[in-house]
Amino acid sequence: MKPKKFFGQHFLHDQSVVEAIVAAAEISPRDIVLEIGPGNGVLTKRLVQEALRVVAVDIDREAIDTVSTMVAADNLELVLSDILSLTSIQRDDLVGDGYICVGNLPYNISSEVLNTFLTQRPKPLRCVFMLQREVADRLMATAGDMNRLALMVQLHARASRVIQVKPGAFFPPPEVQSTVVRFDLMMPEEQRERGIEDAQGVMDVAAVAFSSKRKQLVTTLVGYNGLKKETIARVLTQMGLPETARPQELSVDQWVELFMSL
């Protein structure tokens, strides 16, 4: 099967990376696994050996046919679809809550996939994704380098690097370095313990602020829900932050506190 540039396909062939992904996913014989983009089936072969059931979704008909031929397993279901076009109801019908999600993600849709699987139901227990290293570094950002992607991810999950992957692990080799990242989704109780009662509300405020991230919060948030500059400045001071604070300077916990205080 020849990789298609149109779909951003770079097929993983390094078995050591496959094993690292499988180990990080911690799949038990009771687990249902959703694989995004099985490609040539190299990872799929290992997943069906570990899981109760594997649902592999790919937009490419040739990929589906290839995996069907290469992986003969009764516990494999192949779905021809764009993963981002599946509704929450369709995903629930396929896997339900508490599944494990893995994938060698096309880099052009990685942010959308993260937003879908970390914030929308049905939610997985954990995800293990191959990402462009730049994206992996960005979503691990802390106060000083905070960004919308990192904030969204860290409001919903604990992210950890699994392995750095060189271009030679793929065919054809991509022009960028890659990183496998594990995401352990926080249960509602854990979010509440951290004071995260309304993650979407936090993101709504952040979206306004990060639209002009070089500007100070007292400037970008003026007018949001009727906020006045004096109110924003007072809240920042009460939080121990300077009135000149910019959106990238706040930690996740400070973003939560800011949202709750405004």
Q: Which residues are annotated as a binding site?
A: 10, 12, 37, 58, 82, 104
DSSP state of 203: H
Q: Which of 241, 243, 246 is nearest to 257 (CA)?
A: 241
Distance (Å, rounded) from C-alpha 146 to C-alpha 4?
Answer: 34
Any residues with CB less than 8 A from the CB of 210 and at least 6 apart, and which?
147, 148, 247, 248
Q: Where are the beta strands (DSSP E) in the chain?
A: 11-12, 32-36, 53-58, 76-80, 100-104, 126-132, 157-165, 170-171, 178-185
Coil vs helix vs strand at 1: coil
Query: What is the spatial distance between Cα 105 and Cα 93, in angstroms, rounded to a whole number?
Result: 22
State the binding site for S-adenosyl-L-methionine.
10, 12, 37, 58, 82, 104
Cα distance between residue 146 and residue 137, in whole Å = 11
Q: DSSP for 209-247, please give it.
A: HHTTTTS-HHHHTTTGGG--HHHHHHHHHHTT--TT--G
Output DSSP code: residue 144: T
Contact present, 38 and 67 (Cβ < 8 Å) = yes
Q: Residue 192's CB: how many other CB atoms inside 10 A? A: 11
